[in-house]
Amino acid sequence: MLVASNRGPVSYEIQEDGSLRSKRGGGGLVSALSAIGPDARALWVCSALSDGDREAVRRGAGEDGVRMLDVPADVHADAYNGIANSVLWFVHHMLYQTPLEPVFDAEFRRQWASYEAFNRAFAEALAEEAAEGAAVLVQDYHLTLVPGMLRELRPDVRISHFSHTPWAPVEYFRMLPDDIAGQVLRGMLGADRLGFLTRRWADAFTACCEALAGGLGETVVGVHGLGADADFLRKRSREADVDERMAALREQIGEGRKVVVRVDRTELSKNIVRGLLAYRRLLADRPEWRERVVHVAFAYPSRQDLEVYRDYTAEVRRVAESVNEEFGTAGWTPVVLHVQDDFARSLAAYRLADVALVNPIRDGMNLVAKEVPVVSDAGCALVLSREAGAYEELGEDAFVVNPYDVTGTAEALHEALSLPDGERAERSKRLAAAATALPPARWFLDQLEALRG
């Protein structure tokens, strides 16, 4: 079995004495594979992303079971920053709004050639590594062309592709130049099976194929709704470093206050700014909450090579500060914002949460929505965007919002905060049960079994 993704399960750092230190990555896929254990006999093909990764490739020092591809830095930058995160991410999350418009010029064409080269490097490495009839599981929008390319090189292997993002509706997807849209669809249709996180994204993909590529052909489309890893989360969130961070957060929050938690990477699709504006609306329209609630907002900088992501990160900070300036008092900081990524602190915030705010413009699934109810000590209420994949499974017990509607989101926060303790705990239990229905290991095995037929 082979897995292919841009970001791999491990990364390396060069130490002062020149040695390499490895660090395991997070995320559902990594935990799914490690949950399956050493029997999996998998090879993971991924990009060398850091100086340490590239050094590990040069020294041939990588871990067993991982092959890093040292694609030239400019090719990777074009493919990753230029195409995957600036174009494909924006299309599938429907983020183009004036003045953020797609520009399909000569520069785009040059970057697209890099995206093709990047995908080809993966296809060739996989073709080289795969045993006769092997199962190859390709991940995400960085690698949409790989299934088609690999199919040509190795007709014997079984190929799947999984999308961890939404899929754009056909009217939006065909914003891409026709030849590019066709290439993406045909690339994906090189797979035997395609996986999506929800029925909605799978149907959108199918509609794109019917409209633009003459249908799905032989390819089977399946839905696998990745769930939270309850065992891991419950255990990890009880460790000492989480307790320490809870104590520090409690200090910042103050006694007897309700806590609204959000944890996101600073991606425009996460809608963090509107979340902060909704919280400001709550404080403005319902003064009874002043001094009685704190919004713990973790916004971890993501993809900072790109100006639009940097600007967004800065705006998040600005709006958080302005809410504090407007409403803060000597003994109360309305928004506690942290931007330094710290998993233990995220878990500490989950434990303290009375309300989780998850309001993306669009999101493939959103695991935070699934994780907080599992971890929170006293049970949490969930304010959830109807545009998150998690809505399909959690919608019934959540306070569902239209992510563009700031006033509606403020009202949902009020209702969630007003929920009596007993009812909140009951709802949280039901949310946690739904959120953990398909744990990562099962999610992964289902796909593997389906692929092997």
| H/E element, 297 | strand 293-300
Helices (H), 217-306: 230-236, 240-253, 272-285
With respect to ligand G6P, which residue has the nearer C-beta, 49 or 323? 49
Closest-CB residue for ligand G6P?
164
Nearer to ligand G6P, 112 or 309 (CB): 309
Nearer to ligand G6P, 1 or 46 (CB): 46
Nearer to ligand G6P, 303 or 427 (CB): 303
Contacts 24+ apart (CB under 8 A), 395-403: 396/430, 397/427, 397/430, 397/431, 397/434, 398/369, 398/431, 401/359, 403/271, 403/274, 403/359, 403/360, 403/361
Q: What's the CA gap between 137 and 4, in Å, rounded?
A: 6
Cβ closest to ligand G6P, residue 6 vs residue 183: 6
Q: How far is the CB of 80 from ligand G6P (least distance, A)?
A: 7
Shortest distance (Å) from residue 77 CB to ligand G6P: 12
Give, rounded to a whole angstrom, the gap between the first and last alpha carbons of the chain: 14
Q: What DSSP assignment string belongs to 9-44?
A: SEEEEE-TTS-EEEEE--SHHHHHHHHH-GGG--EE
DSSP 268: G
- Residue 139 CB, shortest distance to ligand G6P, in Å, is 7
Instruction: Provide, rounded to whole angstroms, the least separation between the CB of residue 164 and ligand G6P.
Output: 3
Read off the tokens for 44. 């993971």
Q: Rounded to the nearest whole angstrom, what is the least distance from the CB of residue 167 to ligand G6P in the complex?
A: 12
Residue 51 CB, shortest distance to ligand G6P, in Å, is: 17
Considering beta carbons, is residue 379 or 389 the nearer one to ligand G6P? 389
Least distance between ligand G6P and beta carbon 222 (Å): 17
Query: CA–CA separation, 255 vs 173, rounded Å?
Result: 49
What token pair was written down for 309? Answer: 């992501």
DSSP state of 48: -
Give the CA-trace dihedral at 176, 180, 183, 187, to 10 degrees.
-60
Four-CA torsion 443, 271, 303, 365, nearest 10 degrees: 10
* Other Cβ atoms closer than 10 A to 42: 18
Please count the other Cβ atoms lying within 10 Å of the Cβ belonging to residue 417: 21
CB closer to ligand G6P, 154 vs 303: 303
Number of Cβ atoms within 10 Å of the Cβ of 155: 7
Instruction: For ligand G6P, give the closer residue by CB, 364 or 379.
Output: 364
Residues that bind ligand G6P (CB under 6 A): 6-7, 140, 164-165, 302-303, 364
**Closer to ligand G6P by Cβ: residue 201 or 399:** 201
CB distance 141 to 165 below 8 Å: yes
Least Å distance, CB 269 to ligand G6P, is 9
Strands 20-24 vs 10-14: parallel, antiparallel or unpaired: antiparallel
Q: Which is nearer to ligand G6P, 270 or 424 (CB)?
A: 270
- Cβ proximity to ligand G6P, 8 vs 148, nearer residue: 8
- The CB-of-364 to ligand G6P minimum distance in angstroms stands at 5
Q: Specify which residues 138 forms β-bridges with.
A: 4, 161
Closest approach of ligand G6P to the CB of residue 424, in Å: 28
Q: How far is the C-alpha of 317 from the C-alpha of 298, rounded, in Å?
A: 11
Residue 302: CB minimum distance to ligand G6P, A? 6
